[in-house]
C-alpha cells in the first residue's frame, strides 16, 4: 500500500464532512427563514370597562407586528395650540391561518367621555384613533385611501398549507357600547395588512370651552 493512501483518504473524508456540515447549515438557515403560519384571537370580555368616565383608551392586539395608537389632546386659551401627528408602519412576512377579534356583551356600556378602542388579530395591521378638543385645535391631517393602501404592511400571502382553512372574523356584540355617550372611536380588524383610522376635531367658539 502506498504511504500516501491514508492521508489521501483522510483528506477525502474531511472534505465530505465539510460538505455535509455545510448542507446542514444551509438547511437550518432555510428553516429559520421560512414564513410562519399564525393564528390569533383577540377578545374584550363581557362587561369590560363598563361604566367608565372621562378619557379611556384601549389597545388590544394578538398576532405579529401589529401597530396601534390612541391620541387625545385638550387645549384652552387663545395662545394654546395642539396637533396630533403620528407615523405608523409594519413589515411582516406571515401566513394568517385564522384571525378572530371580538368585543363581547356589555363591554364599555354605560360609559361617558372619550372612549378610544383599537382591537386587532392577525399580522401587520395598523390602527389609529385621534381626538382633539380645544379652542386652538390645529386639526388632524386626513389620509387618503390610496395612501393607506401604500403604507399597509406587506404580508406573506394568503396561501395555506393543506388542511388549514383561512378564517377572518370581527364581531361586536349587540349589547356592547350600550347607553354610551360622548366620543367613541373604534378600530377592529382581523386578518393581515389592514390600515384603519378615526379622527375627530372639536373647536368650540372662544369663551364656550367645556367646564
Cβ–Cβ under 8 Å, residues 155 and 193: yes
The per-residue pLDDT for range 132-176, each reduced to its tens digit, is 887 655 554 444 444 444 444 444 443 333 334 578 999 999 999
Q: CA 88 to CA 74: how far, in whole Å?
A: 23
For the record, the C-alpha cell of 149 comes out as 393602501
Categorize the per-residue pLDDT at 19 as very low, low, confident or very high, splitting at 50, 70 and 90: very low
Report pTM: 0.70
Q: CA 125 to CA 119: how far, in whole Å?
A: 10
Amino acid at each position: 500500500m502506498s504511504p500516501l493512501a491514508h492521508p489521501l483518504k483522510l483528506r477525502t473524508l474531511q472534505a465530505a464532512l465539510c460538505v455535509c456540515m455545510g448542507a446542514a447549515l444551509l438547511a437550518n438557515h432555510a428553516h429559520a427563514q421560512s414564513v410562519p403560519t399564525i393564528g390569533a384571537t383577540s377578545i374584550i370580555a363581557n362587561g369590560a370597562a363598563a361604566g367608565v368616565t372621562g378619557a379611556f383608551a384601549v389597545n388590544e392586539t394578538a398576532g405579529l407586528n401589529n401597530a396601534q395608537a390612541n391620541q387625545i389632546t385638550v387645549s384652552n386659551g387663545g395662545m394654546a395650540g395642539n396637533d396630533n401627528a403620528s407615523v405608523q408602519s409594519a413589515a411582516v412576512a406571515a401566513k394568517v391561518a385564522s384571525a378572530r377579534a371580538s368585543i363581547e356583551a356589555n363591554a364599555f356600556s354605560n360609559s361617558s367621555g372619550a372612549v378610544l378602542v383599537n382591537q386587532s388579530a392577525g399580522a401587520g395591521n395598523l390602527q389609529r384613533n385621534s381626538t382633539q378638543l380645544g379652542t386652538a385645535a390645529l386639526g388632524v391631517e386626513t389620509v387618503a385611501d390610496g395612501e393607506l393602501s401604500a403604507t399597509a404592511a406587506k404580508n406573506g400571502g394568503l396561501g395555506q398549507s393543506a388542511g388549514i382553512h383561512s378564517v377572518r372574523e370581527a364581531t361586536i356584540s349587540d349589547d356592547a357600547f350600550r347607553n354610551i355617550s360622548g366620543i367613541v372611536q373604534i378600530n377592529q380588524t382581523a386578518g393581515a395588512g389592514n390600515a384603519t383610522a378615526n379622527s375627530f376635531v372639536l373647536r368650540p367658539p372662544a369663551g364656550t370651552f367645556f367646564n
